[in-house]
Chains A and B, each alone.
Chain A
Amino acid sequence: EIVLIQSPDFQSVTPKEKVTITCRASQSIGNSLHWYQQKPDQSPKLLIQYASQSFSGVPSRFSGSGSGTDFTLTINSLEAEDAATYYCHQSSSLPMYTFGQGTKLEIK
């Protein structure tokens, strides 16, 4: 099973700051890595697909990069509405899937 480890687990940031969340895979997954945002009491929402492609309607301040085993989600100029937990997800090891443990972002 491919394990995804995110860092940090928790981050407290101020508005307009730049935030970087990383996701490391236990083996190479090419670019089959996706990022989701989950706000309290809501379903997850797709932000970034295939490591760097923004999903439809996602604000341009969200971007992704990486390939192989190391991936990054970047939020430029953080807004208060970005308070959420962010998850990475790999779809390389078919027919199985795994998620990272999540990174909780708190806005000061």
Chain B
Amino acid sequence: QMQLVQSGAEVKKTGSSVKVSCKASGYTFTYRHLHWVRQAPGQALEWMGWITPFNGNTNYAQNFQDRVTITRDRSMTTAYMELSSLRSEDTAMYYCATSTVLDAPFDYWGQGTLVTVSS
């Protein structure tokens, strides 16, 4: 069955960076797009960006354009989301999710990774 397993919780200092991983299994990694969505405590879902594992193409939300980098390792069937220049407002749960094509819902989600940013 299709599964996305994310790396564990992180505690970071303001100004540092965090890199969260998302390991995919149960499907052909290069056949689906991989998205990152975050959710601050008590807040709504916020789309951050996507990657096409087949060719590494990416696109980022304007809010994160300068600070986020999404990459993938095809051999490890794993995608990564790195967020830099962390501030307290980046404290949130970060989810990876997959879709068949870009104009498609996010049908499978990872379990989430809590990132806590403090000074």
Contacts and interface: CB of A to CB of B under 8 A. Distances in A.
Interface stretch (B43-51, B69-77, B83-91): B43-51
A69 interface: no
B26 interface: no
* Dominant secondary structure at the A interface: loop
Interface residues of B, number: 23
Interface residues of A, number: 25
A88 to B, nearest CB: 10
A46 B44 contact: no
Interface of B: 35, 37, 44-47, 50, 59, 61-62, 95, 97, 99, 102-107, 109-112
List 3 A-B pairs, minimum CB-CB distance, nearest first.
A34-B105, A43-B109, A95-B59
Given A34-B106, A49-B105, A87-B44, 9 more contacts: A32-B103, A34-B105, A36-B106, A43-B110, A44-B45, A44-B95, A46-B107, A92-B103, A99-B37
Interface of A: 1, 32, 34, 36, 38, 43-46, 49-50, 55, 87, 89, 91-92, 94-102
